[in-house]
Structure 1
Amino acid sequence: MNILVRMTGAFQGSLFGWSEEATLGPLGQAVRRTVLDHGAWVDVRPGWITGADALFERLLEVVPWHAERRHMYDRMVDVPRLLKFYGEDEPLPDPLLVEAKAALDAHYGDELGEPFRTAGMCLYRDGRDSVAWHGDTIGRGSSEDTMVAIVSVGTPRPLLLRPRGGGPALRHEVGHGDLLVMGGSCQRTWEHAVPKTTRPTGPRISVQFRPRGVR
């Protein structure tokens, strides 16, 4: 069975998201930073990609999406989303993602002190696909300040942030070319999640750019 078949919500493009060519807007002053507790912060650049719906359609077609199973709670369970990880030596699947990575390196290079190296990709097919509360703490993120830059295309979904261990959550609706960057101590002092929803919702693709040694 085609693993993409279970997309029960029809994809509805943005009124501003469709064009023949997807293009990046500027970063700079268009990026809005929210300073969080414990040395963490989050940047948001709404609508960074113009024509993001065209990019979504290309990625849906060309990325070799696959399902995974993981050991949780003493049993093997299906990961509730489709995945693809692009390592340092693996070419990205679309020229605009190469351009996006270069733009992120230019904007955040001085603050991060190194380039983004990898790109993890997730396909949330409908409201049943999700990711539980977590921080990217496999590797250096468990002990060092770092950054994870997320580009979202497709139907917006809530991305929630809360202090590690619980507390009031911040909510960002991301999709249609939005950029969200978690920085500082965010991966080890805060958690993020994309919750399930029973509301009909179309698919979303998340592209997570990370430095070397952060997962």
Structure 2
Amino acid sequence: MGTTHAPDFQASLFGLDEADDQADDRTDDRSRLRPLGDRVERTVLSRGAWVDVRRDWLADADDVLATMVADVPWREERREMYDRVVAVPRLLCHYGEGRPLPHPTLEAARDALSAHYLPELGEPFRTAGCCFYRDGRDSVAWHGDTIGRGSTHDTVVAIVSLGDPRRLALRPRGGGPSLSFTLGHGDLLAMGGSCQRTWEHAVPKVAHAGPRLSVQFRTRGVL
């Protein structure tokens, strides 16, 4: 399994030079996050599941995006599917517990999310999974984060979206009406309660889309 880096054109697309110029100006990364509180809009789903959305949460989303495109050690994974091995349709990187995140605003975001959801969750966020959707052909199939504690316990998976807008779709396990949220640059979406066990989510392929990154914050033992 080799390491695959972002294509060269993305450096100019996301203004990496400007990001480098701004790096010395980072003094208080909490100020680069807009308030949560009553700005978070909750959609109550069935069977104890819910989804929260906070639009335009990251005030410095451009800088975070540029840094992640340049500095994250993106890798391409391959998986066995039916009778052949195929490439996973997105690039991946995982930041385990205790590993520094690629941008200080993401460290501040993890702390802010831990504080905001502590009354419901009872524990802090520990890890961050990152996905790089290079264009509209990259996607995630229907699934729930049910490897580990998510298969038996309520939890929260908080997703920060960066780059081109993409649709995150949700549907009840076993069938029923679906719904979707289009996540834009700097938006936050959190799936909570029983959502990982009783609902599934996906990022469908689209005909045309630019690069998009997502950062998924999880608690210990949830994959």
- Given the two structures, how large is their TM-score scaled by the length of structure 2? 0.87
Alignment equivalent of 1:41, drawn from 39, 44, 50: 50
Are positions 1:146 and 2:148 aligned together? no
Seen in structure 2, the aligned counterparts of structure 1 residues 188 and 12 have a Cα distance that, compared at 3 Å, is same
Spell out, residue by residue over 1:135-168, the C-alpha distance to the aligned partner (whole angstroms, 9 max, x if none): 0000011111011000001111000011013332
The 5 A counterparts of 1:47-196 are 47-196=56-205
- Is the Cα–Cα contact under 8 Å of residues 11 and 203 in structure 1 kept in the other structure? no
Seen in structure 2, the aligned counterparts of structure 1 residues 130 and 6 have a Cα distance that, compared at 3 Å, is farther
CA distance in 2, matches of 1:210, 1:120: 8
Quick one: percent identity of the two aligned structures?
64
- Is the Cα–Cα contact under 8 Å of residues 14 and 66 in structure 2 kept in the other structure? no
- 1:210 alignment partner AA: R
Spell out, residue by residue over 1:56-93, the C-alpha distance to the aligned partner (whole angstroms, 9 max, x if none): 11111110001001122243211000000000021111
Are positions 1:209 and 2:211 aligned together? no
CA distance in 1, matches of 2:152, 2:48: 13
Seen in structure 2, the aligned counterparts of structure 1 residues 76 and 42 have a Cα distance that, compared at 3 Å, is same
2:7 counterpart residue number: 5
- 1:4 alignment partner AA: A
2:19 counterpart residue number: none
CA distance in 2, matches of 1:49, 1:11: 19
Higher RCO (CA < 8 A, seq sep 6+): 1
Report how far residue 122 of structure 1 moved.
Answer: 0.1
Segments of 5+ residues of structure 2 without an aligned counterpart are 16-21
Report how far residue 4 of structure 1 moved.
Answer: 2.2
CA distance in 2, matches of 1:165, 1:171: 17
Alignment equivalent of 1:32, drawn from 34, 41, 59: 41
Judging by fraction of residues, say which structure has more helix: 2
Report how far residue 50 of structure 1 moved.
Answer: 1.5
- 1:138 alignment partner AA: I
- Given the two structures, how large is their TM-score scaled by the length of structure 1? 0.90
CA distance in 1, matches of 2:211, 2:185: 11
Seen in structure 2, the aligned counterparts of structure 1 residues 2 and 148 have a Cα distance that, compared at 3 Å, is closer
Segments of 5+ residues of structure 1 without an aligned counterpart are 14-19
151-160 vs 20-29, which moves further: 20-29
- Is the Cα–Cα contact under 8 Å of residues 150 and 208 in structure 1 kept in the other structure? yes
Aligned pair count?
208
